Amino acid sequence: QSLVSSSKWLQHYGLKRNKLSLSQILSQIGFQHRKGYVTTLGKPVARYADGLFPQYKRAQDGSVYNLTAKKELILHFVDCLIGAIELYKQRMEWLTSESRQIFGVIQEQCIVIVLDFGTAAPTEFDLCRDALSMVLVEQVIQISRFNLIRAAQDLMKWQQKCTPVSEHTVKSAVTWLWKLDHMTAVSHTSSAEALLEAMGDEAVSS
């Protein structure tokens, strides 16, 4: 049953093509218990296999499976499931590490990052710039085009439009980021204006 429970968890993450979903495992380690009228056969079917095999009842639909697999096959599926779980653990560790822990995974190819530091204290300001530098070096370097806009009373843009990504442009953006003044005049509309400016570039997807 613990094997089946693991299969349920993995089925949620789309392992059907690897034949590790609950239904696929059950079909390979046993057969569905039938009794009464079977619609697919169009006739009554007598009870069979009562007491001959261990049984598993699916919570989803109440169907019962007679488990007939030998120990070797069960251990094979255990190994497959453990391997799949380990892959998902590695994936989750990657998704929640470094810049991805703060920004998630950037999937779009052309983005604008809008910077709104508000009234952050100097230490918070530097922490924000550290995080932004990390996302530029780790993730933005993997996409096609980008730009940075700082929300302020006098809106500041790193470039007028999205720029092709290269080691040089990413380094330039990081340098620009660390040259920003800590405090700059803001207005209650500066954030919205910066977002509108970002969206004004038709090439931008996020």
**Residue that finishes a domain, picked among 96, 129, 164:** 96
C-alpha distances (whole Å) from 129 to each of 95, 124, 135, 174 are: 21, 9, 10, 9
Q: What CA–CA distance (Å, rounded) separates 32 from 25? A: 12
In a shared domain, residues 83 and 150: no
Range of the domain at 113: 101-204
Would 155 be classed as within a structural domain? yes
Asked if residues 111 and 82 have their Cβ atoms less than 8 Å apart, the reply is no
Would 20 be classed as within a structural domain? yes
In a shared domain, residues 138 and 119: yes
In a shared domain, residues 118 and 78: no
Average pLDDT, the chain: 80
Would 1 be classed as within a structural domain? no
In a shared domain, residues 198 and 115: yes
How many other C-beta atoms can be found within 10 angstroms of the C-beta atom of residue 95? Answer: 11
In a shared domain, residues 86 and 22: yes
Could you tell me whether strands 64-67 and 55-57 are parallel, antiparallel, or unpaired per DSSP bridges? antiparallel
Asked if residues 162 and 110 have their Cβ atoms less than 8 Å apart, the reply is yes
pLDDT per residue over 56-101, tens digit each?
Answer: 777 677 777 777 778 888 888 888 888 888 888 887 877 777 777 7
Asked if residues 20 and 10 have their Cβ atoms less than 8 Å apart, the reply is yes
In a shared domain, residues 89 and 107: no
In a shared domain, residues 70 and 114: no
Query: Which range among 34-48, 98-112, 149-163 shows the weakest confidence by mean pLDDT?
Result: 34-48
Place of tokens 């990657």: 94
